[in-house]
A and B are shown apart, each in its own frame.
Chain A
Amino acid sequence: MRELELYFGPQHLGMVGNFSIKLKVEGDRIIKADANPGFLHRGFEKLMERRTWMQNFPLVCRINVVEPDHMELVYSMGVEKLAGIEVPERGKYIRSICCELARVGSHLFGLWAYSNMLGFDTVAQWAMYHRDLILDLFEELTGARVYHIYIRPGGVRRDFPDGFKEKVIETLHKIGGKVPDYNATFFENSLFKKRAEGIGKLSREEAKSMGAVGHVLKATGMKYDIRKIEPYAVYDQVDFNIPTREGGDAYSRLLTIRDEMIESVHMIFKLIDKMPDKGKVYTKTPNPFKWNIPEGEVYVRCESSRGELGLYMVSDGGDKPYRAHFNTPSYNHGLTVLEKVLVGESVSDVGNIMISLYVVAPEIDR
């Protein structure tokens, strides 16, 4: 049969985000896949070298559009470690709650993308609506819906407003009450199972050799989670499980995402109960125009909703970072794993695999 070259994306119904794949197909089968990123490259790491430590903090959240909080967190952690700043206890709790809310929001966004792609429009609308409720919470807390610019070096920007805890609990109950409906219409639906089972299958050894992290690895049965391995914020003070599955395919990945979402909601309830009632939420940092951080280098990591997120940062003793390099989970998933997994699959499953790997284009390009 004749080989054809097929350009999949960035303008394609099955594609989420500004990303494209060059496919070589024979009939319906894919022989070779060539990931083609770069549509959103803005050179953030170079931009950071020209800005002061504080000016960078509204910049880094723009690296990931779907959940900016973890980007802010990892940058703040890096600066705190370099400068030797301690975060107050209440600030740490607020950080954790914020990150877990972001995780739920981000997973709902992923669920929207996946169900929309499969044609489950109702589920997609629900997920988008519920994500909007979480964005409403963020709007009240930070003043912004998408880019919160909230977790700053030293703590968080401001305390919870009056009655915010109750609103969080109310919203999460509202979302949690819908879980049986999600299960009935989507997760336990035989259509979803038939469409997703065995698609984009990865064994654990393959996943390890390709450097997979996050839910891709959890779907193969490994409990690899930075929140447990190297606890940051207050994850060492709260009890939670890491959901895993054994299948390693798109079906297992989606179920892992659902379980992780439920686990996060439970965790937020626990965190709100445990949170100290009063206290400072940030440590005062020096004048941002005259803030020089001592020479040194640091590698910090946290668990974003896609997996291990790292930041390597070097300071030469000046008021700007000498070099910053983000290790984003989508980078591995989008460039290494996706290219390998797509080979041998059918063209109609490209979107299915890509969205189940949860690739976010701005995170790859940076």
Chain B
Amino acid sequence: MEELKKNILSIFNDLEIYIRKDNRMFINTKKETVLSLLSYFKNSGYDHLGLISCNDWIDDSKFELVYILSAYMANDEEFQEKEKRIIIIKTRIPREKAKFITVIDIFENAEPYERELHEMFGIKFEGHPRLTPLFLELKYETPPFRKDFDTEKYVENKFGKIPTIKERKNNQKNERT
């Protein structure tokens, strides 16, 4: 792990790298370096994109994109140290008019993940061939997985408020009298 860290730092600058005991490497980077970092890892054997996720840090008004990489086995018989490692690359982009570049050219299975993030967070991925809705049927003003989308308020506006038991009893009393 330490060796890998040295190698990366010799090629890329402006990286913050943390290594955890459980073989996880967290890399914080600027958004410009993400693509070259991803292709560097792919070429050095970390060829399995596990997940693309997103955190909504609403207080900083930033989205944080998270790319999780691990390695497929190089040979069939033995397990190497490499497969135990997980590389987590994180980058922050502005929350207003959020947009980023697609990574489909590097990892083919990024397509549905990016589609989902576009739908749920409203991040536009430039160069993505189909950013059509994946799961949702209705259109929402605020994309539903953002932190400022209040589910309780939405349900109240959409379906009306359900009275509590106390309120219901009072209503019944009022109706009788």
Chain A residues in contact with chain B, CB under 8 A? 37-38, 41, 43, 45-47, 50, 81, 208-211, 217, 221-224, 228-230, 244, 297, 299, 301, 308, 310, 312, 314, 322-323, 325, 327, 331-332, 335-336, 365
Contact = CB atoms under 8 A, between A and B. Distances in A.
B48 A211 contact: yes
B84 A310 contact: no
A50 B107 contact: no
B51 A312 contact: yes
25 contacts: A41-B136, A43-B145, A46-B144, A50-B151, A208-B47, A210-B109, A211-B48, A221-B76, A222-B76, A223-B73, A224-B83, A228-B79, A230-B84, A244-B76, A299-B51, A299-B88, A308-B50, A310-B50, A312-B51, A323-B53, A323-B55, A327-B50, A331-B112, A336-B109, A336-B112
B134 interface: yes
Nearest to B56: A323
Contact of B51 (A47, A209, A297, A325): A325
B50 A210 contact: no
| Those 7 A-B pairs whose CB atoms lie nearest each other, nearest first | A211-B109, A38-B135, A335-B112, A327-B51, A41-B135, A325-B53, A336-B109
Contacts of A222: 72-73, 76
B109 A46 contact: no
B86 interface: yes
Interface in B106-122: 107-109, 111-112
B144 A322 contact: no
Most buried by A among B49, B72, B79: B72
A297 B51 CA distance: 15
Contacts of A38: 133-137
Contacts of B88: 299
A340 to B, nearest CB: 8
Contacts of B22: 81
B153 to A, nearest CB: 12
A163 to B, nearest CB: 38
B66 interface: yes
Contacts of A297: 26
